[in-house]
């Protein structure tokens, strides 16, 4: 999986990709992350990448020419690369979209700054616009990091076990069940006995029940999208009765 990040601040990405799971994925050759400085594609001696907007208004707008040249250079290497603009105006990023993006081999991520990009960038070069939430960041760099982290987890081999991602919250439109580790008793709060039983069938049932309970109590909106068995529905009815 390859990520090309188009940004005005490439140094922001140095540390996050040198730690933990992403670093191991890079070392294994499973993911490749490249930062591309948009300023390098400005053709004036001062490397100007922004200008005042036509019609007046506050702030500056990122110019179309440097961005166009940067995207065209990457696409010349790989015409199949999918180009994403990180913007608060984009569609919200969720686990379903993350799964879809993980099936692609090459993503170009454009990080906006200032008041955004010249509209012609969006019309001519962007395949998709994505937002990580209904709030405004200083730029798209942090959003790009979030997207890369989420997508990379689903690239086969990046996690210690591919099944780890299957148990994550939102993977099947349910929140994750509670997790426990040693000690079995902490200040009078004990680990549920079923988890110590060694009965894998009972543990699996408990985890499913707890995932449904947690989703019902915290994110009931997700249940309308989840694939539920008849047994799941019966469990939810019991949970609903207990929490009326």
Could you tell me which residues come within 8 angstroms of residue 1 by beta carbon, excluding any fewer than 6 positions away?
A: 30, 31, 32, 102, 104, 105, 106, 107, 151, 152, 155
- Dihedral of CA atoms 98, 99, 104, 109 in degrees, nearest 10, equals 0
Selecting among 16, 53, 88, 178, the annotated active-site residue is: 88
Q: In sequence order, which ranges of 78-140 are alpha helices (DSSP H)?
A: 95-102, 119-125
Selecting among 115, 149, 172, 232, the annotated active-site residue is: 115
Is 168 one of the catalytic residues? Answer: yes
Selecting among 153, 173, 209, 210, the annotated active-site residue is: 153
Q: DSSP E strands: which ranges in the chain?
A: 2-7, 32-37, 50-51, 61-62, 82-92, 106-111, 128-131, 185-186, 189-190
**Contact in structure between 125 and 6 (CB atoms under 8 Å):** no
**Contact in structure between 3 and 109 (CB atoms under 8 Å):** yes
Is 156 one of the catalytic residues? Answer: no
Selecting among 168, 172, 176, 232, the annotated active-site residue is: 168
Q: How far apart are CA 142 and CA 88, in angstroms?
A: 12
Is 115 one of the catalytic residues? Answer: yes
**Contact in structure between 85 and 58 (CB atoms under 8 Å):** no
Q: Which residues are catalytic?
A: 88, 115, 153, 168
């Amino acid at each position: 999986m390859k990520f090309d990040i188009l940004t005005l601040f490439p140094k922001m990405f140095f540390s996050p990709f040198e730690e933990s799971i992403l670093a191991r994925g890079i070392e294994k050759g499973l993911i490749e992350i490249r930062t591309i400085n948009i300023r390098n594609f400005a053709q004036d001696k001062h490397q100007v990448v922004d200008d005042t907007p036509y019609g007046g208004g506050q702030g500056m707008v990122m110019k179309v020419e440097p961005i166009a040249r940067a995207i065209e250079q990457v696409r010349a290497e790989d015409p199949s690369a999918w180009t994403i603009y990180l913007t608060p105006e984009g569609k919200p990023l969720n686990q379903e979209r993350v799964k879809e993006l993980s099936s692609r081999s090459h993503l170009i991520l454009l990080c906006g700054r200032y008041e955004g990009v010249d509209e012609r960038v969006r019309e001519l070069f962007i395949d998709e616009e994505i937002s990580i939430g209904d709030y405004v960041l200083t730029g798209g760099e942090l959003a790009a990091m979030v997207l890369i982290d989420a997508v990379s987890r689903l690239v086969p081999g990046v996690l210690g076990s591919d099944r780890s991602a299957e148990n994550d919250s939102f993977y099947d439109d349910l929140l994750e069940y509670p997790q426990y580790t040693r000690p079995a008793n902490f200040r009078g709060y004990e680990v549920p006995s079923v988890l110590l039983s060694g009965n894998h069938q009972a543990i699996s049932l408990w985890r499913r029940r707890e995932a449904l309970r947690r989703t019902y109590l915290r994110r009931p909106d997700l249940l309308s999208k989840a694939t539920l068995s008849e047994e799941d529905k019966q469990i939810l009815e019991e949970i609903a009765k207990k929490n009326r």
